[in-house]
Amino acid sequence: MYPRVSPHGMTRRARTGTPRSRPRASRSVRRRPSHIRQNLRLWQRQSAWYDRHFAGVLGGRQAMAWGGWRVPESRLHALGNPRGRDVLEVGCGGARWSLALEKKGARVVGLDLSPAQLAHASRLRRRAAARLGLVRGNAERLPFAPSSFDLVFADWGGFTFADPLRTVPEAARVLRAGGRLVFLTSSPFRVLSQYRNSERMTRRLLSDYFGMHRIEYPEEVNFQLPYGEWIRLFVESGFVVEALVEIQPGPKDRSRYWSASEEAWARHWPFESLWQVRKVSAERSTGGRRRAQRRAGIRSATRSTNHVG
Ligand SMILES: C[S@@+](CC[C@H](N)C(=O)[O-])C[C@H]1O[C@@H](n2cnc3c(N)ncnc32)[C@H](O)[C@@H]1O
């Protein structure tokens, strides 16, 4: 999951335990932006290890829990009541969140870039005899018609590994008026205070805050924005901000994902951000969304669906 799981620390551990089978890139994959190709390679390579290693904390009673400290949704109430809602999880991995939401009465689609990750989702769906839709796709070009969902969400998913200047307007496009976008990802603070090639945190600021956007790690690319840029992007895309929950682990909380250095740091400064925004209206969002898309250099809006099942 989490940037460091895959990113740095965890990636290094994953490398030792996972076969280095590299999927051959098709022509359409080669045309994707470099960060998409790089992150796809990472998730193809570490998927088996990731699913095995974290199944215990991602599934069962913790299926509906947020971030590296697995803070229960029953405590945060970030998603609201899912019953009867059309829900899209962007970067669903093994789709444990999605399957749990279906059990609560939602109609859910899980989307992921990685076929290996979707294979785990497909296996778990079969085991649960669930109806969950699974779609292979990229968070930056969602293969759905406008106004298809009431809720779009991710837990260290597509809003971490893909460019928010593209993903946030895309989420606005596929949401109905009044629908909500909720996602957990890194905080900007963490990016400023972490060594890029290790799991170590520092109390110093290691990089510029202004201009923060594409974050290069040895094996993957993440994205992050200054707080003001996030808010501008949400507003331009037609959202109002309802909440930003900054996760602070308690003294006894332990994470399976984060190193001791990260955990100690996170008790003092925000390491993970849980954004909750609501689409105001279709009309208001269209103009701003176009402006945000122009800034990201997006021209075409044609979509096709590639259902895995
Ligand atoms: C850290 S995992 C989280 C998955 C899920 N929340 C979980 O905990 O099992 C991140 C997922 O995002 C997916 N992903 C990365 N880039 C993506 C993109 N551009 N579009 C859609 N999914 C993406 C990866 O394939 C991976 O399955």
- Give the separation between CA 31 and CA 187, rounded to whole angstroms: 30
Both tokens of 131, joined, read: 């109806």
pLDDT value for 4: 43
Per-residue pLDDT tens digits for 224-241: 999 999 999 999 999 999
Whole-angstrom CA distances from 233 to 84, 171, 183, 224 are 29, 12, 15, 12
- Is residue 277 a part of any domain in this protein? yes
Atom of ligand 1 nearest to the CA of 114: 25
Which residue type occupies 57?
A: V
State the distance from the centre of ligand 1 to the C-alpha of 245, rounded, in angstroms. Answer: 21
- Is residue 17 a part of any domain in this protein? no
Chain centre distance of CA 22: 23
Strand (E) or helix (H) holding 180:
strand 175-186
| Ligand 1-lining residues (CB < 6 angstroms) | 1-2, 36, 39, 43, 58, 90-94, 96-97, 111-114, 117, 138-140, 155-158, 161-162
pLDDT value for 196: 85
The protein residue with its alpha carbon nearest to ligand 1, atom 6, reads 155
86-90 and 149-155 strand pairing = parallel
The domain tally of the chain equals 1
- Is residue 7 a part of any domain in this protein? no
- Is residue 272 a part of any domain in this protein? yes
Whole-angstrom CA distances from 248 to 64, 67, 110, 145, 269 are 18, 11, 28, 37, 8
CATH number of the domain to which 196 belongs: 3.40.50.150
Place of tokens 């501008």: 232
Pocket test for ligand 1, best of 44, 112, 140 (most atoms within 8 A of CB): 112
pLDDT value for 131: 98
State the distance from the centre of ligand 1 to the C-alpha of 283, rounded, in angstroms. Answer: 30
Per-residue pLDDT tens digits for 103-132: 999 999 999 999 999 999 999 999 999 999
- Is residue 287 a part of any domain in this protein? yes
Domain with 263 in it? 34-299
SS3 201: strand
- Give the separation between CA 69 and CA 156, rounded to whole angstroms: 12
